[in-house]
């Protein structure tokens, strides 16, 4: 991908293919999934059948081998119709990327292969009751016992918990070393001692279950360490540099979906003898929405290019794309509700769901306040490139 952001013919084909799946097999269920707060099984099946459930997995492990931009396109197009469903490919990347980045060949072949074959999803267990933005404050412990490790602790706000079969779990193996005493492990849903809390009752993304994960003397073999002992926190932060770009993609997608619905509505709704789209005040709102979405999209694609290349300024661009795109998504979805007036405030139209779903993109994978801390430090360190 160049900094001109022109999509290749292959990328355009991926966008078209994902859009067809999203519109035909995911969108029809989006309102029901939200209303019933149930996992989007239809979307999961459709994404698996089309190999879009975990497109980032390299070909050598049986995956589609999609680059970072292609993965962004998948998530963007699914989020355009259903943000809950877009969390399937997004969280599969988040959960498995530490394995892909830091794992040895055995653990990569085992777990990336299972993910690619659709044998189970992959969640990411970093947050805890006392470790939200302060991610280094891990209380979950992993103690060596012979060749095994025994894990105890609680993980909170875990996306798709209970649905996923595999979990990247961060745990303290040497608390005195703080971040350098944190290690990453793969835990399986079927491991004895693994259980889940009740689903959280959330404002949005109701189709994606968010639960606590309880680890009660969970014994796992030593070959389930991801990377080296003490490398976990560094892997976690490196993972977030890449996956914040996927949250930006979600934000762009939901904002575009809201604008699409608003455009259709304002051209049909008539007041004072003409379509409300003809009023300058409406045109100005639409112009601002479209302009901001496109700016967010281009920043997201630029960040995806840096993710693919592993550029030195990825940390800045990942944080910038996530913060900017999610702020845009919140503003655009609120404006879409406004454009639909009273109808926008009802569940008969999808924009109120999109507004509720958009909010989480400003919060998870690091709040936008944290993203600004990250960007500020990058700027002060002189890391940001000059375009």
pLDDT of residue 115: 98
pLDDT of residue 346: 97
Which active-site residues does the annotation give?
365
pLDDT of residue 385: 59
The candidate with the shortest Cα–Cα distance to 296, out of 265, 269, 258, is: 258
pLDDT of residue 16: 98
Could you report how far apart the first and last alpha carbons of the chain are, in Å? 15
Q: Which two tokens stand for residue 340?
A: 């639909």
Q: Output b/e per residue, 176-200; b: 16+ Cβ within 10 A.
A: eeebbbbbbbbbbbeeeebebbebb
- Mean pLDDT value of segment 197-205: 98
Confidence of residue 5 (pLDDT cuts 50, 70, 90): low
Whether pTM > 0.85 for this model: the answer is: yes
pLDDT above 80 (res 4): no
Confidence of residue 322 (pLDDT cuts 50, 70, 90): very high
Residue 36 Cα distances to 31, 32, 225, 291, angstroms: 9, 6, 38, 34
Contact between residue 366 and residue 319 where contact means Cβ atoms under 8 Å apart: yes
Cβ partners under 8 Å of residue 6, min gap 6: none
Confidence of residue 383 (pLDDT cuts 50, 70, 90): confident
Residue 90 CA to residue 243 CA, distance in Å, equals 8
Contact between residue 50 and residue 42 where contact means Cβ atoms under 8 Å apart: no
| Residue that has been written with the tokens 């999509």 in this structure | 7
Confidence of residue 252 (pLDDT cuts 50, 70, 90): very high
Sorted by where each starts, the structural domains of the chain and their CATH numbers stand as 9-116 (1.10.540.10), 122-232 (2.40.110.10), 233-380 (1.20.140.10)
**For residue range 107-148, what is the model confidence (pLDDT) as tens digits?**
999 999 999 999 999 999 999 999 989 988 999 999 999 999
**For residue range 160-199, what is the model confidence (pLDDT) as tens digits?**
999 999 999 999 999 999 999 999 999 999 999 999 999 9
pLDDT above 70 (res 1): no
pLDDT of residue 150: 98
Confidence of residue 2 (pLDDT cuts 50, 70, 90): very low
**For residue range 22-64, what is the model confidence (pLDDT) as tens digits?**
999 999 999 999 999 999 999 999 999 999 999 999 999 999 9
**For residue range 261-272, what is the model confidence (pLDDT) as tens digits?**
999 999 999 999
Look at the chain and count its residues: 387
159 phi/psi in degrees, rounded to 5: -70, 135
What percent of the chain has a predicted confidence (pLDDT) above 90?
95
Cβ neighbours around 89 below 10 Å, total: 26
Angle (CA) 314-210-24 rounded to 5° is 80
**For residue range 66-118, what is the model confidence (pLDDT) as tens digits?**
999 999 999 999 999 999 999 999 999 999 999 999 999 999 999 999 999 99
**For residue range 341-369, what is the model confidence (pLDDT) as tens digits?**
999 999 999 999 999 999 999 999 999 99
Cβ neighbours around 12 below 10 Å, total: 12
**For residue range 142-159, what is the model confidence (pLDDT) as tens digits?**
999 999 999 999 999 999
pLDDT of residue 135: 87
For the chain, the average pLDDT equals: 96
């Amino acid at each position: 991908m160049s900094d001109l952001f022109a999509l290749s013919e292959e990328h355009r084909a991926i966008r078209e293919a994902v859009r067809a799946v999203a519109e035909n097999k995911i969108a029809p269920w989006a309102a029901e999934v939200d209303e019933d707060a149930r996992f989007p099984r239809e979307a999961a099946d459709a994404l698996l059948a089309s190999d879009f459930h975990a497109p980032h997995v390299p070909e050598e492990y049986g995956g589609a081998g999609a680059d970072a931009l292609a993965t962004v396109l998948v998530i963007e197009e699914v989020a355009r119709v259903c943000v809950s469903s877009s969390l399937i490919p997004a969280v599969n990347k988040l959960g498995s990327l530490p394995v892909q980045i830091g794992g040895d060949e055995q653990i990569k072949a085992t777990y990336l292969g299972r993910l690619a074959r659709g044998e189970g999803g992959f969640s990411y267990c970093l947050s805890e009751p006392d470790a939200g933005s302060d991610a280094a404050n891990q209380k979950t412990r992993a103690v060596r016992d012979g060749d095994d490790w025994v894990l105890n602790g609680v993980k909170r706000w875990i996306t798709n918990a209970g649905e996923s079969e595999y979990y990247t779990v961060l745990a303290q193996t040497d608390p005195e070393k703080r971040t350098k005493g944190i290690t990453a492990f793969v835990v399986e849903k079927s491991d004895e001692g693994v259980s889940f809390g009740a689903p959280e009752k959330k404002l949005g993304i109701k189709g994606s279950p968010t639960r606590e994960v309880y680890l009660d003397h969970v014994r796992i073999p030593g070959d389930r360490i991801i990377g080296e002992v003490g490398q976990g926190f560094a892997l976690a932060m490196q993972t977030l540099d890449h996956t914040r770009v996927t949250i930006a993609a979600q934000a762009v997608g939901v904002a575009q979906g809201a604008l699409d619905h608003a455009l259709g509505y304002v051209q049909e709704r008539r007041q004072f003898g003409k379509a409300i789209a003809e009023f300058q005040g409406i045109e100005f709102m639409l112009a601002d929405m479209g302009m901001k979405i496109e700016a967010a999209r281009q920043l997201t694609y630029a960040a995806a290019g840096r993710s693919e290349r592993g550029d030195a300024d990825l940390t800045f661009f990942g944080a910038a794309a996530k913060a900017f795109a999610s702020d845009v998504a919140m503003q655009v979805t609120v404006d879409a509700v406004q454009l639909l007036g009273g109808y926008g405030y009802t569940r008969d139209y999808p924009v109120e769901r999109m507004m509720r779903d958009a909010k989480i993109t400003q919060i998870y994978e690091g709040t936008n306040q944290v993203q600004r801390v990250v960007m500020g430090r990058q700027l002060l360190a002189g890391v940001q490139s000059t375009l």
